[in-house]
Structure 1
Amino acid sequence: MQEYPIKRGLTKDLEPRIAAELRNCFGVEPEKNGHSYRIRFGALKRLEATCGAGGKTLRVNTESDTSASDDVIIDTNRRFRKFLDAATGFSTKERVKRAKSVEGE
Structure 2
Amino acid sequence: MTQVTVLTGVRRRRDWTDQDRLEILREAFSPGACVADVARRHDVSRSLIYLWRRAALRQVQETFVPAVIEDEPGTTANASVEEPEAAIVLDFADGRRLRIFASASPALAVAALKAMR
TM-score, with normalisation over the residues of structure 1?
0.29
Relative to total residues, which structure has the larger strand share, 1 or 2? 1
Structure of greater relative contact order (alpha carbons < 8 Å, 6+ residues apart)? 1
Relative to total residues, which structure has the larger helix share, 1 or 2? 1
TM-score, with normalisation over the residues of structure 2?
0.26
**Higher Cα radius of gyration:** 2
